[in-house]
Structure 1
Amino acid sequence: MNRFGYTRAGSVAEAIQAFAAHPDARFIAGGTNLVDLMKYDVETPDHLVDITRLPLDQVEDGTDGALRVGALVGNADLAYDRRVQERFPLLASALLAGASPQLRNMATTGGNLLQRTRCHYFYDPATPCNKREPGTGCPAIQGVNRNHAILGTSERCIATHPSDLCVALAALEATVLVTGPNGDRRIPFAEFHRLPDDRPEIDTTLAPGELITAVEIPAADFGAHHTYLKLRDRHSYAFALVSVAAGLAMDGGRIVRARLALGGVAHKPWRDPAAEALLSGQPATDDSFRKAADHLLSGAVPRSGNGFKIALARRAIVRALRQAAAGTPQSQTDKRIQ
């Protein structure tokens, strides 16, 4: 780990100023991803700005049933918040599917959004990696790529985004609130994370020095018909091979409205409104679910080790939609697939 300076910010304005004063600073809160990256010498900031004392740790009711979640709200606190469990159970389920209880106690909402994409080549400074050192290549394309992306990839990067929370927030159409040297702005969740394209080293659309202050979640009517299905190599403390966040508004056996997002398959949570539109007005049958799955996965590109993800994702989408339609969400306590 390299040497670095440290500032504990007492206000949001002070945090922005401290960041601007150092050319290669990072904000730090729970540190569950950043500290690991620093230990591996993947991230080498010259200064850390500690934001843990900022007043960004509250969950607040918004208008018309919306919820505003401060950037420093812990993952465990958010998962067990009564309003989240009652009004946004999809979000609570996704949080409880992620990491371990110890990590959920430390990790923050804002930090979860900023997790770096997962790839063993990225985490190993002895190997080339376009994300870590632009222009050096992507050895995963021809190498070990079992866990890598099948959607939205480029010839420069096939890493996957690791967050479970973000998959649920994508399905719930959240908005990310940020502030920085040029003031405040609101970023629709679909526009917050980037695909790799020709700049895989840039994971988000945050401008330099911008700080996440909150996430706003609009009211949703998926309380009775939702699920978060996470398929992984072991039942606990593992990243998703494929995950599905599904929310349905139902009228009897017919789908009125659908939301569907995938994790473990792309550089960002993967959502396609056209696939959701295929479900609108349709009966809640496996045939309808398979058509949506086929559309979602129509652009999938398998590599040497991860072609199984296409069939796995197709089955997971159908299973998740079946669970949501029946009102029998996947249990995150008993992880056996229903």
Structure 2
Amino acid sequence: MPSSSSSNFLLSFLFALTASNCAAKNISSSSSPRQLSVDYYAKTCPQLELLVGSVTSQQFKEAPVSGPATIRLFFHDCFVEGCDASILISTTPGSKVLAEKDAEDNQDLRAEGFQTAGGPYYPVKKGRRDGKISMASRVPYNIPRANFTIDQQLKLFNSKGLALQDLVVLSGAHTFGFAHCKQFVSRLYTFRGTNQPDPDMDPRLLKSLRMSCPQFGGSSDIVAPFDVTTPFLFDHAYYGNLEAKLGLLASDQALFSDPRTKPLVLQLGKDKKKFFQAFSAAMEKMGSIGVETGTRQGEKRRESDMQT
């Protein structure tokens, strides 16, 4: 039985990897724009969900990090050009213009998620066409930074049509997965230029992270879990960790420190069912950012990483 979380997160974005074959067979069909729908491929590729589900389920078993890596991949794709799989396009050989996935901010994604545990199930709407534009230069200004304040995060989320609740709920994806030292090392030694560690980090976590991530000369390959209590399980422990000052990134811990977001953090930390329902709704909402459904907007790629 495919994992609900890994299968459905992939269905909402990486259907391009499997559905491209179905789309290619039907590439000369009606070109009139259609809205997203759960049964978009019911006639042209009726086994789509089974195919993608079986592949992602196996991938998750072999490499548990593929679950969080896929969510991150989906997030990065939607926030830059919209949910159009433009992050899969490879840089044209010899070109000086790099594609999205070759942007510095996406280097970690290449190792974690371009190949493609217990989370919520929701029916994924399909029918997105593939984008034609993929530029690395557009990535830095569209992806939240690990040290962003709530104001900075809200400004970015609002620009994508997402609200404060979406910010808090989607941040819950950090209930599993890992981050490299460079994403949080400043919190351990010189937080916001103070030459002191972040006071909003539990001393025990600070000591542990310092052992793995020295201020200078550390390995760029070292990672730490977002959720120190259940790092491989998709649950709501992330929010309880924030209350205990166990957030890994400054942008995470800020959710508990800010009075605008703290009440929702407390609510979600106490109610797993509420978090799952809210997360499913927020993922569906994010999955509609910049969607392309007409031939003038996008294309159907025969190969997921190459433009037709």
Report the TM-score, using the length of structure 1 for normalisation.
0.25
Say which structure, 1 or 2, has more relative contact order (CA 8 Å, 6+ apart).
2
Higher helix share: 2
Higher strand share: 1
Report the TM-score, using the length of structure 2 for normalisation.
0.27
